[in-house]
Amino acid sequence: MTDTEHAAPRTAVAFREVYGAEPTGVWAAPGRVNLIGEHTDYNDGFVLPLALPHTTLAAAAPRTDGVLRLHSGGADGGVVDLRIDELRPAPPQAGWAAYPAGVVWAMREAGLPVGGADLHYESTVPTGAGLSSSAALEVATALALDDLFALGLERQRLARIAQRAENAFVGVPCGIMDQTAAACCTEGHALFLDTRELTHRQVPFDLPGEGLRLLVVDTRVKHALGDGAYAERRAGCERAARALGVRALRDVAPAQLPDALARLAGAPDVADVQPLVRHVVTENHRVAEVIACLDAGRPRAIGPLLTAGHASLRDDFAVSCPELDLVVEAATAAGALGARMTGGGFGGSAVVLVEEADAVAVGAAVTEAFAAAGYTAPRLFEAVPSAGAHRIR
C-alpha cells in the first residue's frame, strides 16, 4: 500500500467529522519535481517532470444548493463557505481555498455543468517548497469534480482548467507544467511534455532498477511565484520573442542562437534579455538530450546535463539562490552524478542524481555544507516516479 492509500481512510473519516456525512469518494493528486526543462513551459517549450509519492487527497460529495464548502486538515480557520455563482477572480484573503474555488470557477466559465460540493483535504506535499502543492490541490479538486458531476474530461483538459484557475482566479502567471504533471504522470516514468502542442509521452525512468536515486533537497527557503520575479522573467521572454519575430522562444533553434543574440545585442531596448534567451534555447536542447540518454538506456549520462541546466538557471536566468547553489556544489563535490534546482526557483528544492551506494554520503555532505554555512537544515527525501491523479475510493 502506498502512503496515499493509507491516508485515504483518514481523509474520509475527517470528512465525516467536518460535514457529518459520508464522502462520495476520495481522490489524490501528487506534487512533482522537474527533471529538466525549467522556465520553458511559458515559452511553448519542453519539460520533463515526474510525480512524487506525496499527494493531496480530496474527500468530496456533491451538493444541489450551489454551495461550495472547503476544509483542509492542514490549514487553520475552519470551513470556507462559498456560493458557486458568486465566485469572482482574485478573491481577497481567500488563502489556500482560492485554488479549489478557482477550479470550480474555471469549470463554470468553460460552461461545464458543475454544481456545489463539500470537500475536505489532507496533504503530504510540502508547501512553499517548489514541489507544486498548489497544482496538486487544483488537480485533486478538478478530478473529484469531474467524477462527481460525470464531466468525462480528459486529463490534459483537467490540467488546463487547473492552470486557468491559478492564472485567472488566483492570479499566479504559471505555465502548464505542474498541473499536467499532477494530472498525467505515471509510475516509473517521467513525463515528456510539449507545452505548445500539449502532447506528451511517458519516458521510462526506473531509478531503483538502474541502481540510482533521485534525492530531493528542500532548502526550506520559501519560494513564492506571485512575488513578481517570475512574472518579470516571463515578460522578458515574451519581449525577446517579439523582438525576434517568433511566436515564442521555442521557435529559436540552437543553431540560430548566436544570430538571435547578436540581433538582440544590437537593439538597446532588448539587449537585457539576451541571457534569458540563451537559457531557454539551451534548456530546450538539454531536454532533448536528456530524453535521448534515457531512451538509449543511459540514465547516468543525464547527470552533467542536469548540472549544466543549473548553471544556466543561476547565471543566465538568474532564478537560483545561494542555498540552491550550495546544494548543487556540495552534492557534485561529494560524488553526485548531477544536480539542479527544480521548479520556479528563488528558493524551494533541488534534485540530486546519485548512485544508490553514494546516496547517504551525498545527502550527509549537503546537510553538513548547510550547517557550515549557517543555513537552516534542509529536508531530504527520495523522489520515486509515482502515479498522477487518481481516485482512491
Q: Which residues bind ligand GLA (CB under 6 A)?
A: 38-39, 41-42, 174-175, 177-178, 225, 343-344
| Closest CB 350 distance from ligand GLA, rounded Å | 13
Minimum distance, C-beta of residue 234 to ligand GLA, in the bound complex (Å): 8
Residues taking part in catalysis? 178
Which residue, 30 or 344, is less far from ligand GLA as judged by CB?
Answer: 344
- How far apart are the C-alpha atoms of 51 and 3, rounded to whole Å? 14
Q: Which is nearer to ligand GLA, 188 or 343 (CB)?
A: 343
Of the two residues 234 and 393, which places its CB atom closer to ligand GLA in the complex? 234
Q: How far is the CB of 39 from ligand GLA (least distance, A)?
A: 5
Q: How far is the CB of 48 from ligand GLA (least distance, A)?
A: 11
Cell of 248: 515564442
Indicate the SS3 state at residue 319: coil
Q: Please identify, using beta-carbon distances, which residue of 7 and 313 lies nearer to ligand GLA.
A: 313
Identify which of residues 229 and 293 has a Cβ nearer to ligand GLA in the complex.
229
In order of 32, 139, 267, 276, the CA distances from 120 in angstroms are 22, 14, 53, 41
CA distance linking residue 271 with residue 277, whole number of Å: 11
User: What b/e string do you get for 100-120 counting C-beta neighbours within 10 Å, with b at 16 or more?
Assistant: bbbbbbbbebeebebbbbbbb
Among 163, 137, 166, CA closest to 58: 137
CA 198 vs. chain centroid, Å, equals: 16
Minimum CB separation from ligand GLA for residue 138, in Å? 11
What are the E-state strand segments in the chain? Answer: 25-34, 46-47, 49-62, 67-72, 80-83, 117-123, 189-194, 199-204, 212-218, 338-342, 349-355, 379-382, 390-391
